[in-house]
Chain A
Amino acid sequence: MGCFLTNSSLGRKLVMSISGCFLVLFILFHMSMNVVAIFSAEAYNMICGFLGASWYALAGTAVLALGVFVHFAYAFWLTWQNRKARGNVRYAVTVTEKGVSWASKNMLLLGVIVILGLALHLSHFWAKMQLVELLGHHENNLGLEPTDGAALIKYTFSQWYNVLLYLVWFAALWLHLTHGVWSMLQTAGWANDTWYPRLKCISGIVATLIFGGFAVVVVWFYLQTVCPCLAACGA
């Protein structure tokens, strides 16, 4: 049983489905946590303190990193196999088939944009928070405490180019999830003709909720920079 997850096409797809589901659940949690920063810097920093360099936070980070690694490693593996299966000679004329989304045909490209955004995000936040704590330092290179996530958010999204890069990242994630969410259910066998419209609707809602939740935080903090009067309304 163990090996069908590696030596069968349906098993490999199941690994993609389960690891994808795990990442969606994590992203939903992360988005909910971020939204707190709009309402209360103290509450947000309490969560940051809880998710500091404690053993459970480190264990969670390790499991999360494993999930990301498995999802991406399998994505590249499956894509390599799929390109081989397509053959060496490609069609001279190609079209987009009726009812087929652009995202569904470009999941790897969108995934690569997502992982590049993730690398940028880790350098902006993880490297200035949990990593700083792990190294035993009491402040990061910006002079902020590693648990002062709210201040770090303010600093990061006061720069327009960071806002732009993050919005592009979230847009790629949105597209990825519009196909990924219903596709993971189809791969697990939970779909039929009655449920396709519902599952695709649920995918759109989940993807939009995640995009909206992340984007509103980034835009809110940037607007506070360009219009300081807004700062008084927020955290």
Chain B
Amino acid sequence: MNFTLKIWRQKDAQSKGAFKEYKVENVSSDTSFLEMLDILNNDLVHKGEEPVAFDHDCREGICGMCSLHIDGHAHGPSQAVTTCQIYMRQFKDGATITIEPWRSAAFPVIKDLVVNRSAYDQILQAGGFVSVRTNSVPDGNAIPIPKADADESMDAAACVGCGACAATCKNGSAMLFVAARVSSLAKLPQGRVEGARRAKAMVAKMDELGFGNCTNTGACQAECPKQISIAHIARLNREFLAAKLKD
């Protein structure tokens, strides 16, 4: 398969970036998208050119490290997968593919397609944890948790913190990420204890870092590789408003 790639190139955070076109030829249809970029970079290195910088790590959809806005979609055109899980057979032979970094004021570009997502780490550090002493691992049946609650908590905990939600949202809002973290802990007894403090601290940090205001478009859940539901945003709203009204 042959492709024309329009890739955002930017030397560093201070420089102005621009799109540059590249051709990749004779790529197997079973090549993954990131392997295709590896092939391109191999060619560029052989030609003595600067390779394209892009984030990746596990390449099996669990670490949340890969990003990329591909043809208008966070993590490419497929649903419920990360960029590392898409393959070139999902594109038309001869297609022009536009590859951009996440666009959000809170995720500044470091180089080419790599953005600084440490804002999410800072939100987690503000309250996305359990600080009460829970001692050693209790017996599995010692703390009864309704199946529905455990399922909701696990669904929210599937968030890999890739940043696709804020990158997709027209408002640059991080609400789906914050909601998933608050929800996954709020539905469990150990996390429930600090629910009010957590919601207030994480929302305050999210606002401080310059993320936008959620307008409930639902674009975040449509593009989320882990299909986190905006129902968690409703729970975050409840948690936060209840905590503030009790102050």
| Residues of chain A lying within 8 A (CB to CB) of residue B216 | 104, 179, 182-183, 186-187
Q: Which residues of chain B have C-beta atoms less than 8 A from A7's C-beta?
A: 207
Instruction: Tell whether, in the assembled complex, residue B234 and residue A85 are in contact, meaning their CB atoms are under 8 Å apart.
Output: no
- Does A227 count as interface, using CB distance less than 8 angstroms? no
**Is A31 close to B, CB under 8 A?**
no
In angstroms, Cα B206 to Cα A52, docked, is 48
Inter-chain contact A98/B71, CB cutoff 8 Å: no
Asked if B172 contacts A189 (CB within 8 A), the reply is: no
B204 on the A face (CB < 8 A)? yes
Closest to B97 in A: A93
The interface stretch among B31-39, B86-94, B238-246 is: B238-246
A188 partner residues in chain B, CB cutoff 8 A: 237, 241
Smallest Cβ-Cβ distance to B223: which chain A residue: A97
A90 vs B72: C-alpha distance when bound (angstroms)? 11
Residues of A70-104 whose CB lies within 8 A of B: 78, 81-82, 84-95, 97-101, 104
Cβ < 8 Å to A, chain B residues 195-247: 203-204, 206-207, 210-219, 222-223, 229-231, 233-238, 240-242, 244-245, 247
B213–A78 CB distance below 8 A: yes
Q: Which residues of A contact B238 (CB under 8 A)?
A: 189
Q: How far is the CA of A190 from the CA of B231 in the complex (A)?
A: 9
Residues of B within 8 A of A (CB): 6, 17, 19, 69, 71-73, 79, 98, 100, 103-106, 168, 170-173, 203-204, 206-207, 210-219, 222-223, 229-231, 233-238, 240-242, 244-245, 247
Minimum-distance CB pairs A-B, first 3: A85-B212, A189-B238, A85-B172
